[in-house]
Amino acid sequence: MPLKLLYKPTNSQFSILNSQFIKRLALDVGFHACGIAEATPLSDEELGFRRWLSDGDQADMHYMEEHVDMRHDPSLLVPGARSVVSLLLGYKPSRMMQGNHRIAMYAYGEDYHTRIKQMLFHLIAAIQKEYPDFTAKPCVDTVPIADKHWAVRAGLGWIGHNTLFVSPQLGSLCNIAELVTPSACDCYDHPIENRCGDCRRCIDACLNRALHAEGDGFRLDARRCTAYHTIENRDERLPEDLRRGGYAFGCDRCQLACPYNEQAPVSVEVSDAQLEELHHLADADEATFRRFARSRALSRIRYWQWKRNLS
């Protein structure tokens, strides 16, 4: 089924965007960082996606096998694409769950897809006040685009040893979004150096050894990942040898071990009432669970999976 384009292509000559102006607008809308990369295709070596698939590291996430070429080349997503505007929004909470039924930090609050999509539309509208011919496709992680790698191209950070994108300011506790546009920019950003060095804290923190070395970096085997099994796995039972480290939805162990996340600023305030609600979810009946999950990332799983994960 072809993807529905959420922008309106035209045959006119697009204005060249002032990159500093775009970045100021992005911060005004509420994003925490913005970088802009030229929309030239990612190489197989740069992305490493086809080998990840061929080795079966995607487990049963067969949707990852779709639109592979589009993940490499944004012009297949947006014909005539010239620029990819990458945006970061931090989600480090002021307080974290404790105990044996924890939820990954990114899922504490409202569904980030909804919030970020609204912010992207606000950013497009703000840009159009200065550039009326501006058009772009807003992308959160439901669109087949290589979010992490475009954020790297845009100079916002690097791919860490935990295979997550790491910002020097926000760590890996950030959501990534893009605007893919046929407009060119007056200046493009460039990648910065990988600053993980010899650190192995995230690798050693993984209870299931899901991270393994490949070349100069590391690769994630979803078949051994707690986050994969507690979210994507649709089997009636989880693997008997899976060590969950107290998590019932997702996992933060590799992120909590990262020194960049330790020093990252708090982005989301969590109240006493919110934290109590999260903890009481372990005792929720199906109606309560569904009502709570409806507007959150927790809606990714069904109630029977939640009960399975708690056992």
Looking up residue 49, the CATH number of its domain turns out to be 3.40.109
Q: Taking 60 as the threshold, does the pLDDT of residue 10 lie above it? A: no
In a domain, 161, yes or no: yes
Tokens for 283, please give them.
């005792």
H or E element that contains 251: none
User: Can you tell me the mean pLDDT for 198-221?
Assistant: 88
144 and 77 within one domain: yes
Residue with the larger pLDDT of the pair 62 and 162: 162
Q: Tell whether 134 and 272 lie within a shared domain.
A: no
Q: What is the mean pLDDT of the chain?
A: 91
Left (φ > 0), alpha (ψ -120 to 50) or beta: where does 104 sit? beta
Q: What angle do CA 293, 277, 231 make, to 5 degrees?
A: 40
pLDDT of residue 69: 82
Q: What is the mean pLDDT of residues 105-119?
A: 94
Same domain, 176 and 35: yes
pLDDT band at 119; cut points 50, 70, 90 = very high
Write down the pLDDT at residue 50: 73
Count of structural domains, the chain: 2
In the predicted structure, residue 47 carries a pLDDT above the cut 90: no
**Which pLDDT band holds residue 59 (cuts at 50, 70, 90)?**
low
Q: What is the pLDDT of residue 216?
A: 66
Q: Reply yes or no on whether the pLDDT at 71 is more than 70.
A: yes
Secondary structure (3-state) at 78: coil
Do 292 and 208 fall within a single domain? Answer: yes
Domain span at residue 220 reads 201-310
Q: How confident is the model at residue 3 (pLDDT cuts 50, 70, 90)?
A: very low
Rounded distance between C-alpha atoms, residue 271 and residue 182, angstroms = 42
The catalytic position among 111, 133, 141, 198 is 141
Amino acid identity at 207: L
Same domain, 274 and 242: yes
pLDDT at 62 over 70: no
What distance in Å separates the CA atoms of residue 32 and residue 147, rounded to the nearest whole number?
Answer: 16
For range 289-305, the mean pLDDT? 95
* 206 and 161 within one domain: no
Distances (CA, A) of 62 to 59, 65, 66, 140, 262: 8, 5, 7, 19, 34
Determine if the pTM surpasses 0.85. yes
Q: Any idea what DSSP says for residue 140?
A: -
Mean per-residue pLDDT, 276-286: 96
CA distances for 183 relative to 15, 22, 54, 136, angstroms: 6, 12, 35, 8
Point out the domain boundary residue: 153, 181, 209. 181
- 133 by DSSP, 3-state: which? coil
Q: Is residue 276 part of a domain?
A: yes
Same-domain status, 276 and 148: no
49 and 174 housed in the same domain: yes
More confident residue, 43 or 4: 43
On whether residue 3 sits in a domain, the answer given is no
Task: For residue 1, tell me if it sits in a domain.
Answer: no
Tokens matching residue 267: 């982005």
Q: Is residue 29 part of a domain?
A: yes
Please say which residue of 123, 149, 181 terminates a domain: 181
Say if residue 54 is in the same domain as residue 170. yes
Whether 259 shows a pLDDT value over 90: the answer reads yes
**Confidence band, pLDDT 50/70/90 cuts, at residue 189:** very high
Catalytic (active site) residue 141? yes
How confident is residue 7, by pLDDT bands cut at 50, 70 and 90?
very low
Mean pLDDT value of segment 51-63: 69
CB atoms closer than 10 angstroms to residue 44: 11
Residue 103 lies in a domain: no
pLDDT at 51: 75
Determine, yes or no, domain membership for 261.
Answer: yes
Residue 88 bridge partners (DSSP): 33, 176
Q: Specify the amino acid at residue 163.
A: T
Are both 171 and 209 inside the same structural domain? no
Q: What is the pLDDT of residue 291?
A: 95
The amino acid at residue 107 is: A
- Same domain membership, residue 210 and residue 134: no
Mean per-residue pLDDT for 107-116? Answer: 92
- pLDDT for residue 52: 62
The total number of residues shown for the chain amounts to: 311
Task: Determine, yes or no, domain membership for 12.
Answer: no
Average pLDDT over residues 25-54: 87
